[in-house]
Amino acid sequence: MSKEIPLWEVFIRSKNGLEHRHCGSLHAEDAEMALNNARDVYTRRNEGVSIWVVESKHITASNPQDSGELFEPAADKVYRHPTFYELPDELKHM
Binding to another protein by residue 27, rule CB under 8 A? yes
Span of 22-30, 53-61, 73-81, 86-94 interacting with another protein by CB under 8 A? 22-30
- Give the nearer residue to another protein in terms of CB position, either 29 or 47: 29
Q: Which of 28, 57, 59 is nearest to 42 (CA)?
A: 28
Q: Which of 59, 54, 50, 52 is nearest to 8 (CA)?
A: 54
Binding to another protein by residue 23, rule CB under 8 A? no
Binding to another protein by residue 2, rule CB under 8 A? yes
Binding to another protein by residue 33, rule CB under 8 A? yes
From CA 10, how far away is CA 24, in angstroms rounded? 5
Beta strands in 20-82 (DSSP E): 21-27, 50-55
- Binding residues for another protein, rule: CB under 8 A, are 1-2, 5, 26-30, 32-33, 36-37, 39-41, 44
